[in-house]
Amino acid sequence: MTLADRRVVVTRAPHQADELADKLRQHGAEPLLFPCIDICPPDDTTGLDDALQRAADGGFDWIVITSSNTVEAIRQRAATLGLNLAGQQAAVVGPATATAARDALDLNIKAVPDNYVAEALAQTLDLAPDKRVWLPQGDLARSTLADQLTSMRAQVTVVTAYHTVIGHGGIDLPAALRSDTVDAMTFTSSSTVENCLRRVEQEDGDVTALQALCAVCIGPKTADTAHHAGFQQVLTPDTYTLDGMIDLLERHFNQTGT
């Protein structure tokens, strides 16, 4: 296998890490779990609860979801409130989020952009004026998508569904950096990049050694964050998926041999 014996760090939240770790194992790699983010409910859930109730009652024409983290946050809160969103019409970013939204919420996925980034969703949706759109998202989400939907004269309800916090646990990455036993890093969001550096620094690790590793990023926004964070070798797949990241890793190691 191309990735045989390669040690690849997975920085995703604990509830997401297994998917990428399993794919890496299938290709012969050894995944090293080092959670750099986690999600938690907002301090005040009033806005989220109101939107969930409205969604369950069919009060939105579209539910727009940009990440699997959003799916998980909604699933947890809907379960707490005893609400069911089954059959509600949704637009999502990418096939992984689509699968999560179907499996966890039984949403009716009607729109997935060809380009798996949030901004492409607005271009995919052919919204008539005054369509009611619910956009649940994390506290660190940019306003670009909401602004685009509003410019289309949609009635957009933006709600914070979760807070992103720094992760904990996993391998002793500083020790692995000292022993030079890491082959690559994987990043699936800007938050994973930023919090990885923060964790390594807080745990007295060698940030320079971290920045020298190959960093495979799921998309251009994450890659841009990695560049600005000082990573010297940043790779981005043509297809912004976990499988795309692994294919790129295989090509990289085939070409470099190191």
pLDDT at 242 over 80: yes
161 and 176 within one domain? no
Q: Nearest Cα to 133, choosing from 144, 145, 143, 141?
A: 145
The pLDDT of residue 87: 97
Tell me the mean pLDDT in the region 43-55: 97
Higher-pLDDT residue of 221 and 120 is 221
Does residue 235 form part of some domain? yes
The pLDDT of residue 237: 96
* CA distances in angstroms from 100 to 9, 10, 16, 65, listed in the order given: 23, 19, 11, 10
Q: Which of 137, 165, 193 is the last residue of a domain?
A: 165
160 and 53 within one domain? yes
The pLDDT of residue 94: 83
Tally of structural domains, the chain: 2
Q: Which of 140, 165, 190 is the last residue of a domain?
A: 165
The pLDDT of residue 141: 87
* CA distances in angstroms from 40 to 15, 74, 104, 189, listed in the order given: 12, 11, 17, 17
Q: What kind and span of H or E run contains 243?
A: helix 242-256
**% pLDDT > 90, the chain:** 83
Tell me the mean pLDDT in the region 25-33: 97
Q: pLDDT for 109-161, tens place per residue?
A: 999 887 766 677 787 887 889 999 999 999 988 888 999 999 999 999 999 99
C-alpha 255/C-alpha 244 separation (Å) is 17
159 and 63 within one domain? yes
The CATH number covering residue 118 comes to 3.40.50.10090
Tell me if the pTM is above 0.75. yes
216 by Cβ neighbours in 10 Å (0-12 / 13-18 / 19+) ranks as buried
Q: Nearest Cα to 232, choosing from 174, 185, 181?
A: 185
The pLDDT of residue 125: 84
* Encoded tokens for 224: 């841009």
Rounded to 5°, the CA angle 194-16-242 comes to: 80
Does residue 192 form part of some domain? yes
Tell me the mean pLDDT in the region 171-195: 97
Tell me the mean pLDDT in the region 42-62: 97
**% pLDDT > 70, the chain:** 98
Q: pLDDT for 66-118, tens place per residue?
A: 988 999 999 999 999 999 999 999 999 888 899 999 999 999 999 988 776 66
Q: What is the mean pLDDT of the chain?
A: 94
* Encoded tokens for 150: 């509003």
Query: Domain of 94?
Result: 45-165
Does residue 178 form part of some domain? yes
Q: Which of 165, 196, 226 is the last residue of a domain?
A: 165
The pLDDT of residue 257: 65
- Beta-sheet pairing, 155-166 with 37-40: antiparallel
230 and 171 within one domain? yes
Q: pLDDT for 195-215, tens place per residue?
A: 999 999 999 999 999 999 999
175 and 112 within one domain? no
